[in-house]
Amino acid sequence: MPLTQLIHITAAYSNAVLVAVLPHVNDYAKKLDLPIPLPITQSEVAKFNVGHLQGFVEGSLWLTNHYQFFFGDGYVVWFKVFTNNPWLSDDPANEWPSYVGKINMTTNDAVAFARGELVKLGYDPAILHCDREPTSFEGGCNLNYGPFPYCQIEWRNEPLTIEDKTNAAYVTVQINMKDKSLLGLSVISPRVWKQNPKIDVVPELESDYKKRTRGTMIINTNAPQVLNPNMGAETPKIMRSP
């Protein structure tokens, strides 16, 4: 199987992908009743990182209200909110005590809530194996410093064989059990893949771009010889079709 080639990203291509992705994000946010003004406009986009793989229309979208969405394989794969979300804390030991509050949902309530959010998006929980007991349930408990009203629920269905990979599903739901609100949701499964949206700009392969510009490139003699391996954001890992 040939390797997927990289494309050269231009402002025109990135903007075209953003225009194509925004309606999907708007529809997603509306279905989940997320507390953000709709429709989302380009003026509310703080940053957009478009994918570099040929044949895949994908990108990460950061909004000025601290919500982030990732689009790939024809659908919104996940979202998360960075404000008041302990699951995104870099220092849980010191920061989590500030999240103490009343727990207004039982474990069963939270699981039912998570399944209900999937239904809002048009997903049958059984198709994603979420009709079963969760693989893990974290939070929603009393810690040494008081009640922790946040939980993260996961359902993971690993394929047993290569042929069974279309049966794989990885679902994560983050919930504020005090306000009964959604903090994050991720659905990764070939069962929900859709067609890529149409993009009006055809990107050039990165290899072709380098060949075309090799004779005119300006070399920065002050550039580091070795790139910092920590530079750049982590790219979400999602399964690909063959």
Lookup result for tokens 């929980």: 125
Domain range for 182: 86-192
Q: Which pLDDT score, from 0 to 100, does residue 2 have?
A: 52
Please check the confidence at residue 225 and state whether its pLDDT lies above 80: no
Domain count, the chain: 2
Residue 213 lies in a domain: no
Nearest residue to 184 (alpha-carbon basis) of 229, 228, 153, 210: 153
Q: Are residues 183 and 162 in the same domain?
A: yes
Residue 229 lies in a domain: no
Q: Which pLDDT score, from 0 to 100, does residue 106 have?
A: 97
Residue 218 lies in a domain: no
Tell me the pLDDT of the chain averaged across its residues. Answer: 88
Q: Are residues 57 and 120 in the same domain?
A: no
Average pLDDT over residues 216-222: 47
Q: What are 162-182's pLDDT values in tens digits?
A: 778 888 999 999 999 999 999
Nearest residue to 118 (alpha-carbon basis) of 103, 134, 105, 107: 134
**Six-digit token pair at 94?**
């010191």
Q: Are residues 150 and 202 in the same domain?
A: no
Residue 220 lies in a domain: no
Q: Are residues 184 and 201 in the same domain?
A: no
Residue 123 lies in a domain: yes
Q: Which pLDDT score, from 0 to 100, does residue 79 have?
A: 98
Please check the confidence at residue 156 and state whether its pLDDT lies above 60: yes
pTM for the structure as a whole? 0.84
Which of 68-72, 93-97, 103-107, 125-129 is the least confident region?
93-97
Q: Are residues 182 and 150 in the same domain?
A: yes
Residue 20 lies in a domain: yes
What is the side-by-side order of every strand in the sheet holding 136-143? Answer: 45-50, 59-63, 67-72, 75-81, 181-188, 169-176, 146-157, 136-143
Q: Are residues 70 and 99 in the same domain?
A: no
Q: What are 58-77's pLDDT values in tens digits?
A: 999 999 999 999 999 999 99
